[in-house]
Amino acid sequence: MIRINLTSVLVDDQAKALDFYTGKLGFILKNDIPLGENRWLTVVSPADPDGVELLLEPGGHPATGPFKEALVADGIPFTQFAVDDVHAEVERLKGLGVEFAQEATDMGPVVTAVLDDTCGNLIQLAAMK
């Protein structure tokens, strides 16, 4: 059986990303292993500390910049995170200074919002109704 144990988000600054993903979004640090100039830096949800890890992957490859810029220009989120209540989470995050590209929006069976992770990505929050 195949299962997801790790996924990644390309970030332009790992230290800034760690601060944002832990300090604002509320993830907790799982691994911080030095790898030359970069780190194997993963975070997890405090609700599932042994669950899927999110790798804050350095975006040093030459294709990364144009790829991320194109997604942001078109308003396309790089990835999506589940929350229980999008409206409440948007208000909580706004109180922490997080900027949103899309406010909480009813999309039929789901409510979504899109935030700027300060590291070159748009991230969608979603909750099924």
Question: Could you read off the pLDDT of 11-23 as tens digits, one per residue?
Answer: 999 999 999 999 9
For the stretch 29-60, pLDDT in tens is 999 999 999 999 999 999 999 999 999 999 99
Torsion sign (Cα): 32, 35, 36, 38: negative
Beta bridge partners of residue 82, listed in sequence order: 126
Answer yes or no: is 65 within a domain.
Answer: yes
Answer yes or no: is 1 within a domain.
Answer: no
Answer yes or no: is 55 within a domain.
Answer: yes
Task: Give kind and range of the element (H or E) at residue 13.
Answer: none
Indicate the number of domains in the chain.
1
Residue 22: CATH number of its domain: 3.10.180.10
Answer yes or no: is 121 within a domain.
Answer: yes
- Range(s) of the domain holding residue 83: 6-128
Contacts of 89 (CB under 8 A, 6+ apart): 83, 113, 125
Identify the band that residue 73 occupies on the pLDDT scale cut at 50, 70 and 90: very high
Amino acid at 95: G
